[in-house]
Amino acid sequence: MSQKHWIIFSDNNSSIDYALDLIFNTIESPYFLELKKKKGAIFSKAEIIKFIDEENRHGIKIVTRKTSQSLKSMSSGEQKKALLDYILKTKPDFIVLDNPFDNLDRKTRTELKERLKTISDEIYLIQIIGRESDALPFIKTSFRLKGNTLQPLKNIKNHQKTIYEAFDENIPKPLTKIRVHDDILIRLENISVSYLNKPILRSIHWTIKKGEFWELRGDNGSGKTTLLSMITGENPKGYGQELYLFGQKKGSGESVWEIKEKIGYFTPSMTESFKGIHSVENMVISGLNDSVGLYIKATEAQLNLAQRWLKLAGFWDKRHQWFNELSEGNKRLVMCIRAMIKHPPLLILDETTAGLDDTSAALFVSLVNIFAKESDTAIIFVSHRDEPGLLPQYIYELQITDTGSVGKMLK
């Protein structure tokens, strides 16, 4: 059987919910009539988060029923594989693939592309993507989704010009400078980690100094998240090892609060699971209080500082809107300036460009570059994609071996 398939090119302001309504035929349209009364499934990061929520709240393992490992503790690549296996078992007539290649390394992307090609003989596929280079080559029908409008495209190419906007204003200074006495912020000496007797990290040596701009690379499952959890002090496997966070050895009486105060951390799942209702302005101010969402009244100085950031990042007109109503790309930018506003000594940006369209990703990269240049903050930027225009000073890569991943400096 040869099926029909579709690509929907989305951007920062596209309403994915609207596209899903069309695909699932819950609203009338001339499109996707072939899918009427058919059974559909969604392959997306949001679905993974929904299943993780089920695990957390009700202890129900749906996707990973046959394994002892929880979905939450799996690497992104493992989670996506588990979700696709689960979806295929439910025997759907069609699958909506929402940015399917995000968070995947090159090899896993190629494998998934081949798997989807095989599946496409039997199952209708609808691919929603922000990155033009992700388009599945065997799909011949395409649309562009602008807000709540779906436009058929004559050619498969999106032809959306990527605008590499640059932030050309100066980055606002912090209200108070967070002091760190040592030039060395983070030092890992011979750090190794295993889970369930499976070696994950082997003899990692990594030193991060004030103001350095690092890119952290590594294939799916190489241990990037594990390594970051050592750096944020959250991983108990750091005890008893030569792990130094802001001059203090892990386990030497440092408070979690002291470490948290010095680290800005942003990963997209922070917004995907965030349910609070706050204005964009208050979300940015809350970065000064280490809370997500503002729960105490801001001072005049805090408000002024937040407003300078909002102007700089192009959010002045949106400052009184609800954060939850922003597009995903805009949420990311707001969360990024929220993490930057207090100039933490260390800023960790974990897969922050996943799910963004080409233009939003370029804007994001531009903001990170200028922040790295103008602040004293050290940055660790994690991404599976070679982001065009990113200007890290150093690249640290985790390379998988049978005895755990080893670290290599590539630049």
Ligand X SMILES: Nc1ncnc2c1ncn2[C@@H]1O[C@H](COP(=O)(O)OP(=O)(O)OP(=O)(O)O)[C@@H](O)[C@H]1O
Interacting residues toward ligand X by CB under 6 A: 69, 73-78, 195-196, 200, 218, 220-226
Minimum CB separation of residue 106 from ligand X in Å reads 12
Residue 222: alpha-carbon gap to chain centroid: 17
**Nearer to ligand X by C-beta: 218 or 287?**
218
Closest residue to ligand X in the complex (CB)? 75
**Nearer to ligand X by C-beta: 81 or 308?**
81
- Tokens of residue 94, six digits: 């069609």
**Nearer to ligand X by C-beta: 195 or 295?**
195
Residue 131 region by backbone torsions, left for phi larger than 0, else alpha for psi between -120 and 50, else beta: beta
Minimum CB separation of residue 278 from ligand X in Å reads 28
Which parts of 158-293 are beta strand (E)? 184-195, 198-209, 213-218, 242-245, 248-249, 263-266
Residue linked to tokens 């590499």: 164
Minimum CB separation of residue 13 from ligand X in Å reads 28
**Nearer to ligand X by C-beta: 220 or 360?**
220
Q: Angle formed by the axes of helices 45-58 and 76-89, to 10°?
A: 90
Residue 363: alpha-carbon gap to chain centroid: 15
Minimum CB separation of residue 350 from ligand X in Å reads 8
Check residue 129 and report its DSSP letter: E
- Please provide residue 75's backbone torsions phi and psi, each rounded to the nearest 5 degrees: -75, 165
**Nearer to ligand X by C-beta: 1 or 196?**
196
**Nearer to ligand X by C-beta: 138 or 195?**
195
What's the number of CA atoms in the CB half-sphere (13 Å) around residue 258? 14
Minimum CB separation of residue 130 from ligand X in Å reads 19
Residue linked to tokens 């964009």: 280
Check residue 279 and report its DSSP letter: B
Beta pairing partners, 207: 187
Minimum CB separation of residue 67 from ligand X in Å reads 10
| Residue 15: count of CB within 10 angstroms of its CB | 16
Minimum CB separation of residue 400 from ligand X in Å reads 9
Residue linked to tokens 């609060």: 257
Residue 212: alpha-carbon gap to chain centroid: 21
- Tokens of residue 361, six digits: 């990703």
CB 381 within 8 A of CB 336: no
Length of the chain equals: 411
Q: Cα–Cα–Cα angle for 265, 358, 337, nearest 5°?
A: 30
CB 156 within 8 A of CB 135: yes
**Nearer to ligand X by C-beta: 234 or 317?**
234
**Nearer to ligand X by C-beta: 28 or 386?**
386
- Tokens of residue 239, six digits: 């005890």
Cα dihedral sign, 99-100-103-108: negative
Q: Which helix (H) or strand (E) holds 371?
A: helix 358-374
Minimum CB separation of residue 77 from ligand X in Å reads 4
Radius of gyration of the chain (CA): 22
**Nearer to ligand X by C-beta: 172 or 238?**
238
Minimum CB separation of residue 40 from ligand X in Å reads 26
Minimum CB separation of residue 122 from ligand X in Å reads 28
**Nearer to ligand X by C-beta: 78 or 254?**
78
